[in-house]
Structures are given as C-alpha cells and as structure tokens.
Amino acid sequence: MVAAEPRVIRLLMELRRQGISDPRVLGALEKVPRQLFVAAPFLDQAYENHALPIACGQTVSQPYIVALMTQALAVNDRTKVLEVGTGSGYQAAVLAQLCRRVYTLERHKPLLQQAEQRFRTLRIHNITAKLGDGSRGWPEQAPFERIMVTAAAHDIPPLLVDQLQVGGIMVLPVGEAGSGEQDLVRVTRLEQGIDIQHLGPVRFVPLVEGIADT
C-alpha cells in the first residue's frame, strides 16, 4: 500500500482536529486525489483546507465541508445517493468510495463533461451523472436513501424531500446567497413531516433553477 504524501496526512490530521471522526470518511478523502479536481492555477493549494474557484463561477468545496457533509449523510456500501450540484465532481468521487451508487446532477454542461472525464480517469464506475435542473431532483430514479445538495437553497426544497424515502437523510445548506453565512442542516424524512438538525454556518453558491446556457 502506497503511503499518503505529507500534505494529505497534514490535511487529514487537521480534519480530525475539527471533529471529523468517521474513519471511512477520512479514508475516502485520502483515496480521492483532490489535485485532479482543482483548476491549474490553484494546484499548489489542492490540499489546503479552503474552497477553490473552478469554471462557471462555481467552487470546489473546502475539504472540511466535504468531510462534514459526508459524515452527516451517514452512507454505507448499500446506499443510493442523489447529489445536487456535481461541480468539479470531487464530492461525488468521495461519496462513491462509500456508497453503492451516486446519481449526480449539474446545470453547467462544461462542468459536467469535465467531471465525467475525471470519473473515467479515476475508474469510478458507480457514479451516474447528467445535465439537469438540480432543484427538481431526479424523479425517475427516486426514491433515494440519501440526498446531498451542494448549493444553498432559500429553504428546504419540498420536491427533494418528496424524493427522499421515509427514514432517509438530506444534507444541504439553507439561506440567501450574499446575505452572510448560510446554515448547514441535516433533514430526516419521517412518516409525517421532517426532522431538522442544524450543523453550523457555511457559505455556498446559490441553488439556481434551470439549466445554464453555457
């Protein structure tokens, strides 16, 4: 087994100090080479614990936030997951190490194409990606046991709750973009209604309806 390089080890130690305790999540972040998901001008920062810009005005999330959301989602190797907002593909690649199948939606065609190429390069075969309006989910593949939304919604989207099976979990940021920090929440669908757990302040790009022109 090849030993992790020092900057990866340093990042994993930082994540542990920040409260990421699930060894499976830490192992997934160790396996996925973040430098493949980062734009060329920022390669030297690939293992720094902060978000980085990518094309189409989007970002690849801070490793701590990726780890926190993945840990909160509580997936296992039988879980079927919907991800809203493929972006660079980094979060989907991390989830793919831990669950049975990831369905991921992206509204920007160039981002989707780049992410799919990265999945092929890494020989990740349990991700199904398509161009689509993430705010509407993927009803043809519903219900999902888990849903992760990687852009901030104004409120918890009822359409996505409807695609979550009873007992399922959705993790997403909620709040207005540009109005300061949003709130990361963990939503559990119950027989009647939902249960909401607050995980802390975050900052994400907004969840936008429709498919982008680019």
Each domain of the chain, given as residue ranges in start order, spans 6-202
How far is 81 from 94, CA to CA, in rounded Å?
Answer: 12
For residues 91-102, give the mean pLDDT.
Answer: 98
CATH topology assigned to domain 6-202: Rossmann fold (3.40.50)
Whether 61 is a known active-site residue: answer: yes
pLDDT digits (tens, 9 = 90+) for 60-96: 999 999 999 999 999 999 999 999 999 999 999 999 9
From the candidates 21, 61, 88, 135, give the one annotated as an active-site residue: 61
pLDDT higher than 90, residue 1: no
pLDDT digits (tens, 9 = 90+) for 137-171: 999 999 999 999 999 999 999 999 999 999 999 99
pLDDT digits (tens, 9 = 90+) for 9-22: 999 999 999 999 99
* pLDDT at site 2: 45
* pLDDT at site 209: 87
pLDDT higher than 90, residue 101: yes
As a whole-number percent, the residues of the chain with pLDDT over 70 amount to 96
* pLDDT at site 142: 97
How far is 214 from 210, CA to CA, in rounded Å?
Answer: 12
Q: Are strands 80-84 and 101-106 parallel, antiparallel or unpaired?
A: parallel
Structure tokens at 82: 């919907």
